[in-house]
Structure formats: C-alpha cells, structure tokens
Amino acid sequence: MTPATQTRRPLRTTFLLLAGAIFAALLVAGGMVGYTWWQARKAAEEAMAAANAPVAAPPLEDTSVAEADAVAGAGLQPEYADSIFAGDEAWFVKGPVFDPSVKAEWEALPDRLGSFDYGTRIFCVDCSQAPFGEDSEFSPIHDHSPQMLADFARQRGQTEPGFVRYMSLAAAGKVGFPRLAGTTGETLLTRERFMESYGAMFDNELRTIPWHAKRAILDWNNAQEEDWTFADQGNIDPRGLVSQHDFNLDGIDDVAVVMHCESCAEHRVLLFASRKGKPDYVLHQESIEGRALLKALYPDPEERWEREIYMGGPEKVSPPQDPLLVTPQDGTPYALVYDPKFDAMRRYEQQSIGGSEGNVKTKDSERIAQGE
C-alpha cells in the first residue's frame, strides 16, 4: 500500500462519517417538519369541523328574535349586549355627531331613526352604564361588517332610508350609535329574562295585546298554584280566544282571554281591565266547560255586527256599554256587560225569556239598560 493510498483512506472515512451524520440530521429534521405539518393539518381539520358544526336555533319563531346568537364588536357588555323588547313600541334615536364634515347631513336626518315593537332583538354597543344609561348605545344588528350593513339596507332601505344612512355613518365612527327612546327597565330585558317571563306565554296570538295586559296576565299566573297557558291547543283559530276592547269605559283597551290549566283540566274566561295610572286588574273570571269563543260587540258598519243582546226579556236591546259575547264549546252563549256602579260584569244568557205578555227583566238588567 502506497503512502498516498494510506492518506486517502482516513479522508474517505471522515467523509463517510460526515455524510452519515448530515443524512441522519436531515432525517430527524424531516421527521420534525412532518410531525409539525401533521399537527397543523389536524388543528385545521378540527377548526373546520367546529365551524361547520350545526348550531341550535333559538326557541322563538319570530324572525326579529330568532337571529344568530353571536354578538360581535368590541366593548359589548356580556349581560346586556343581547336584549329583547317586551313593550308595545319604542324608537332608535340619533346619537351625537363626531365628524364635523357630516354635521349637516346628521342634522338633516330625522331624530327618530326607526321604531320597533314586541319581540324585537336589540344589541348594546356600549352599555357601560348599568343597566341602561342615557348615553348607552344600541344597534338593530349584531355586527357592523359591510355584509351586515348591506343586509340591513335591503331590509330597511325602502321604509327607513335615513336609518340605513345613519347606521353607515355610525359604523364608520362619524356619529355615535343610536340611543333608545320609549324603553324602561321593565320592557328592555336580557334575552334570558325575556324568555323566562314572556317567551312561552306570549309566543302566540297574545303577542299582539298591550304590554300592560301582558304584565297583568303574568302577575295573575304567578299567583296561581298551577301553571296556566293560552288555550290555543288543537286546531282552532286562536283569534277567537282573545278579545281587545274598552269594556270598563276608561278609554284604554281591556283584554278578555281564554286560559287553560293542563294539570287541573280546567278552562277559564278572564277579563283583565285597565285603570289609568294603575296596574291592570282581573275584572271578571269564571270557569267554563271546554273552550269558548270571545267577541266584543260594538257598532261597525263594515262588519255589520249586532250590538243588541238579550238582557232578561223576550227581545234584544242595546246595552249602554259594549258587551262581550261568550260562546262556550258546550252551552248557551251569554253576554257580559259592565256595571259601573259595582265595577263588575253582569251575565246575560243569550236566549229569549218570556213572551209579549210576560217580560221578566230583572231590576239589574233594567237599570243597566237604562244607563243608571
């Protein structure tokens, strides 16, 4: 073996060892990269699966309430960010102007931007004043992305173009988000409180009755040992189970309704009457066999309803107050007429009594018919 050969062998050995070490390092590095890639792919797949998972819809059927539950936007207060209006009517009104360049446009917009009614979902942009202060800011939409603003414009553009323009200015930070007018701590509720108090009871034909009557029904139901609900079960037109009219002559609509207690197998006709400046009260209630249809009788040229009723005699007469006609599922229809002397409803069976020779009107019926 020549000296040159002896010199090349250690070099070759060193080269092979170095190449082997580099190869091993590449294998380890490749394994780590592959593992990292696998972890990233797994995380992405999990995120995609979570994003595509079905979300349970809110229990209310009203489209103004049944929207997405997510509330976007910085500064939203968790407790009051998602609220629902339980009153009759309220308004979004203008907030302050921040950008002087839009002050003239801001002044030209109406002070009342848009109205909303029972069941409308409201989102608080800034509710730092608990629960709702004069400077609290609200929005009819849960985020102010271009897509959401475009959807809002399609919904309100024809009827409330000023509101649409104002929301665009607010989203751009040029004006403050709207304030509210016509709401109170009793009518603007957190979603949870609304569902507990109003959701189930008035998710039906009763949603159209005034707020003061809703409150009276809730108070009455809370005072009962058993739970009562609106008697709209089965295939029946629910409009016939409720009647709104001013029966006690105070200028405010009263509400008559048929309620049902499933656990006690009972139906009741209840009349909740209003009083100016005071809470509503139960003017009349009685148990009935099965359900009943209710109808206020008053002069109406278009409907051509009969206002006359039997009041204990052979012929129909016109009572001084508009009566409530009750048609039971089983039994004779009867009318309820308000007696202002005793703040009570008098009952009159709707059938002719006596003949031309024998009118058996009672003293009460004569007195009420004469308006005493």
pLDDT digits (tens, 9 = 90+) for 219-269: 999 999 999 999 987 777 888 999 999 999 899 999 999 999 999 999 999
b (16+ CB within 10 A) / e for 271-302: bbbbeeeeebbebbeeebeebbbbbbbeeeee
Tell how strand 316-317 and strand 309-310 pair up. antiparallel
Hunting for tokens 């009685």 — which residue is that?
286
- Total-model pTM: 0.71
Instruction: Say how far apart CA 106 and CA 125 lie, in whole Å.
Output: 20
Tokens at residue 281, please?
Answer: 């009260």
pLDDT of residue 305: 64
DSSP state of 89: E
How far are the Cα atoms of 28, 341, 372 from residue 324, in angstroms, in the given order?
A: 89, 18, 19
Residue of 217, 227, 221 lying closest to 257 (CA atoms): 217
Q: Return the amino acid letter for 268.
A: R
Instruction: Say how far apart CA 292 and CA 326 lie, in whole Å.
Output: 6
Query: Across the 372 residues of the chain, what is the mean pLDDT of every consecutive 10-residue run?
Result: 45 47 47 39 37 35 34 41 91 96 97 96 79 78 93 94 97 95 89 91 93 96 94 84 93 95 94 89 93 89 76 91 92 94 95 53 44 46
pLDDT of residue 132: 62
pLDDT for 184-215, tens place per residue? 888 999 889 999 999 889 999 999 999 999 99
pLDDT of residue 303: 64
pLDDT of residue 299: 80
pLDDT of residue 235: 76
Instruction: Say how far apart CA 196 and CA 211 lie, in whole Å.
Output: 16
Helix (H) or strand (E) holding 146: helix 146-156
